[in-house]
């Protein structure tokens, strides 16, 4: 089975990861940090809002079972892409809305979906989601992985 990766920042990674884990065709998820300057950042480092990293979910999926377009749909539906450097009560650059693409095809699909959603009138404000090349993924500490599942929680506020 050939899989692909997709990486998204959509606020606190716990709820975002839980949403992606429900998608048929998603074979694995991991929460971590991407898009900053520090090597091997910790949660404490990222929470200072000084490293430039976003809290992200790395999604591994089988493109024969779920398309990248459908993965993007889950991303858009599970957060507010009009909030700059925040989601709900969480604020700071680490909570920004971001798509980190892994291929030219992912970049094109991400840009097209953002443009279509912006033109749809779904949101009163402009979408501020950044679309940038994926950089090194720094896996978060083990206690953050599948955080909600470990605590018997189905979801948390992500939108």
Active-site residue set: 12
The residue written with tokens 């033109």 in the block is 119
Neighbour-count burial of 62, counting CB atoms closer than 10 A to its CB (0-12 exposed, 13-18 middle, 19+ buried): middle
**Torsional class of 153: left (φ above 0), alpha (ψ -120 to 50), beta (otherwise):** beta
CA 28, 35, 110, 149 dihedral sign is: positive
Would you state the structure tokens that stand for residue 1, as one six-digit string? 């089975």
Residue 148 and residue 15 in contact, taking contact as beta carbons nearer than 8 Å = yes
């Amino acid at each position: 089975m050939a899989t692909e990766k997709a990486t998204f920042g959509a606020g606190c990674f716990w709820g975002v990861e839980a949403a992606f884990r429900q998608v048929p065709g998603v074979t694995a998820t991991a929460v971590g940090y991407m898009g900053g300057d520090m090597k091997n950042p910790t949660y404490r480092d990222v929470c200072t809002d000084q490293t430039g990293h976003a809290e992200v979910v790395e999604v591994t999926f089988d493109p024969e079972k779920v398309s990248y377009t459908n993965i993007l749909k889950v991303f858009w539906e599970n957060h507010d892409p009009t909030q700059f450097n925040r989601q709900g009560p969480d604020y700071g650059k680490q909570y920004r809305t971001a798509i980190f693409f892994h291929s030219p095809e992912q970049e094109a699909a991400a840009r097209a979906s953002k443009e279509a959603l912006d033109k749809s009138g779904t949101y009163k404000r402009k979408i501020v989601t950044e679309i940038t090349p994926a950089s090194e993924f720094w896996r978060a500490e083990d206690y953050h992985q599948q955080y909600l599942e470990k605590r018997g929680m189905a979801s948390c506020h992500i939108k």
